């Protein structure tokens, strides 16, 4: 699996998304994904499954230091004191001393970044967070973030798939050396019904989902986070890295 370098560490360019899972699913799919070879797990407080993801990690045979674990905090907790409390609540829920990356899940319309980002810097200094990132940020928001944040900005996680290619944002981030994490890479299942995606998949003897993931992995600096609750689909996502379009 290709690794995108971030300072002294690295983010695996293919991860498991855990958005909108039923009770018990996040625990089982996390364990299964690690057994299959995944080393990047993505969750969030908004997903309400951090506890299950943590249980899945502990149930797996993969050492914690071999796993890149990301979670996210919502804008309602961006005030300085609230942000620290929320981060520590995530650590307790996940059952870990640190997360590899902590993201601001969405931009806040009320709390300035100058309130939130210094706390994120302190969490990194304390070893509770390894890397800092954001999600759903525009180019101007990224510029503001980089002006305030002392630590390197490790990623911006946004919706990216064959129907939303984020050309301008990808260009800016590539120029700054910031990896882009792609959520909803299957466009909420739309790639499975698209005639063009089906035609391409048939030509490669695979599924439209695998083609969508491969399309992302072909793009420099892009990290794909396909979500699945079915263990049978994990191997296909990993195999997408071998497809040459």
| Residue 66 CA neighbour count, 13 Å, CB half | 11
Residue 149 to residues 84, 192, 196: CA-CA distances in angstroms? 16, 40, 42
Residue 226 to residues 9, 41, 160, 214: CA-CA distances in angstroms? 22, 10, 11, 11
Q: Which of 215, 107, 206 lies closest to 170, judged by CA?
A: 215
Q: Of the residues 38, 47, 172, 183, which is catalytic? A: 47
Torsion of CA 98, 99, 103, 109, to 10 degrees: -30
Backbone angles phi, psi at 132, to 5 degrees: -110, 145
Active site residue 98: no
Q: Which of 80, 4, 77, 11 lies closest to 44, judged by CA?
A: 77
Backbone angles phi, psi at 68, to 5 degrees: -100, 110
Specify the residue for token string 């951090």: 50
Q: Which of 57, 91, 51 lies closest to 73, judged by CA?
A: 91
How far apart, in whole angstroms, are the C-alpha atoms of residue 75 and residue 114?
13
H/E stretch holding 83 reads helix 80-94
Residues with catalytic function = 47
């Amino acid at each position: 699996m290709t690794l995108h370098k971030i300072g002294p560490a690295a983010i695996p360019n293919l991860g498991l998304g855990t958005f909108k899972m039923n009770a018990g699913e996040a625990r089982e799919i996390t364990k299964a994904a690690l057994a299959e070879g995944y080393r990047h797990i993505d969750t969030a407080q908004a997903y309400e499954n951090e506890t299950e993801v943590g249980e899945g990690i502990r149930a797996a045979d993969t050492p914690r230091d071999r796993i890149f674990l990301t979670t996210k905090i919502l804008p309602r907790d961006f005030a300085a004191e609230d942000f620290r409390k929320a981060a520590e609540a995530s650590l307790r829920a996940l059952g870990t001393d640190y997360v590899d990356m902590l993201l601001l899940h969405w931009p806040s319309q009320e709390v300035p970044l100058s309130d939130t980002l210094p706390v994120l810097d302190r969490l990194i200094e304390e070893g509770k967070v390894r890397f800092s990132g954001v999600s759903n940020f525009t180019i101007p928001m990224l510029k503001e973030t980089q002006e305030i944040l002392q630590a390197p900005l490790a990623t911006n996680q946004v919706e990216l798939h064959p129907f939303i290619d984020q050309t301008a944002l990808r260009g800016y981030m590539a120029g700054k050396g910031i990896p882009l994490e792609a959520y909803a890479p299957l466009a909420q299942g739309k790639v499975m019904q698209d005639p063009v995606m089906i035609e391409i998949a048939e030509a490669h003897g695979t599924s439209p989902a695998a083609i969508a993931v491969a399309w992302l992995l072909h793009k420099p600096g892009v990290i794909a986070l396909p979500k699945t609750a079915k263990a049978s689909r994990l191997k296909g996502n990993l195999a997408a890295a071998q497809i040459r379009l």
